[in-house]
Structure 1
Amino acid sequence: MVEKYLTGSEEETFNLGVQLARKLGPGTAVSLEGDLGAGKTALVKGIAKGLGVRDTITSPTFTIVNSYEGDVTLHHFDVYRIDDPEELYEIGWEEYFNPNDVCVVEWGDRVSQMLPPGALRIRILRDETQPDKRTILVERQDQE
């Protein structure tokens, strides 16, 4: 089943992230997908707020992962610059995906084979005719 949301600004995308965080219990993995500038980091900032994170959220483009403490620990990955998925094993990729934490992976479609079964897939699509409009599709992946 796919849930569809429409947002008209970065603030609305952020607020949707806050709402979506209520559905993310410990142990949840999220594949976040969309073009450059689609609003992935804005959505993660909202998810973080919804999970009780008080720190400033920044995209981990060069560090690969940032971890934040809140009501639950949030691990925020950005795998855009990963050339070989093996690089993720070098940083302890598998250890982040545990039953106590939430993991959000920007560009998750690039490493979909490495995500745990049942990961939540969130796709952000831009409206080419209205630059601030986004269609956000949320889909739970099949358990294996």
Structure 2
Amino acid sequence: MNEPITLADDDATAALGRRLAAALRPGDLVLLEGDLGAGKTALARSVIRTLVSDDRLDVPSPSFALVQPYEADGNPVLHADLYRLGGPREVDELGLFDRADAIVLVEWPERSDEVVERATVAVRLAVPVGGEGRIATVTFVDGRSY
């Protein structure tokens, strides 16, 4: 589905995260693209909580840690933020590609061509003119829907 989706509020963003989580498979690399305040971390939080089956799980922004690891049914889930990377080569040190069965969500993926090239899902979030809600576009490289 490449049609833009209007997300009226945080509940709508969380609902999109739940739908997206249901469609993800081990090995998926999800790009979370958008400006500051577009809702990347909020969407990732919903995806992760759904994958690990814990609506109350503390899912902090990985801005300072760069990568926050989780586990869902024995499979790793990684939430990364590349905003503070010093250069694209530092991606290798993060271990994002160490496990083929990991689901990896990456904020600020444009900081690494390697991450963008390996992506299986791209989610673009934007703040519409006027600042109310968000606009999301979800694209699966393999054409699957959610």
Measured against the shorter chain, the TM-score band is 0.7 to 0.9
Letter in 1 for 2:4: K
Q: Does 1:87 align with 2:63?
A: no
1 CA distance for matches of 2:110 and 2:5? 20
2:5 aligned partner: 5
2 CA distance for matches of 1:117 and 1:87? 16
SS of structure 2 residue aligned to 1:57: coil
Native 8 Å contact 1:34 1:40 kept in 2: yes
Structure 1 115/94 Cα, relative in aligned 2: closer, same or farther at 3 Å?
farther
2 CA distance for matches of 1:132 and 1:73? 34
Structure 1 53/116 Cα, relative in aligned 2: closer, same or farther at 3 Å?
farther
Letter in 1 for 2:32: L
Among 66, 72, 75, the alignment partner of 2:78 is 75
Structure 1 38/118 Cα, relative in aligned 2: closer, same or farther at 3 Å?
closer
1:104 aligned partner: 105
Letter in 2 for 1:2: N
Q: Percent identity?
A: 34
Native 8 Å contact 1:40 1:106 kept in 2: yes
CA drift of 1:75 comes to 0.3
CA drift of 1:132 comes to 3.1
* Contiguous gaps of at least 5 residues in structure 1: none
Structure 1 122/112 Cα, relative in aligned 2: closer, same or farther at 3 Å?
farther
Higher mean alpha-carbon deviation, 13-22 vs 45-54, is at: 45-54
CA drift of 1:6 comes to 1.1
Report the TM-score when normalising by structure 2. 0.85
* Contiguous gaps of at least 5 residues in structure 2: none
SS of structure 2 residue aligned to 1:69: strand
2 CA distance for matches of 1:121 and 1:140? 7
1:60 aligned partner: 62
2:48 aligned partner: 48
Native 8 Å contact 1:117 1:141 kept in 2: no
CA drift of 1:101 comes to 1.7
CA drift of 1:28 comes to 0.6
SS of structure 2 residue aligned to 1:105: strand
SS of structure 2 residue aligned to 1:63: coil
Higher mean alpha-carbon deviation, 52-61 vs 11-20, is at: 52-61
In the alignment of these two chains, the number of paired residues is 139
Structure 1 93/117 Cα, relative in aligned 2: closer, same or farther at 3 Å?
closer
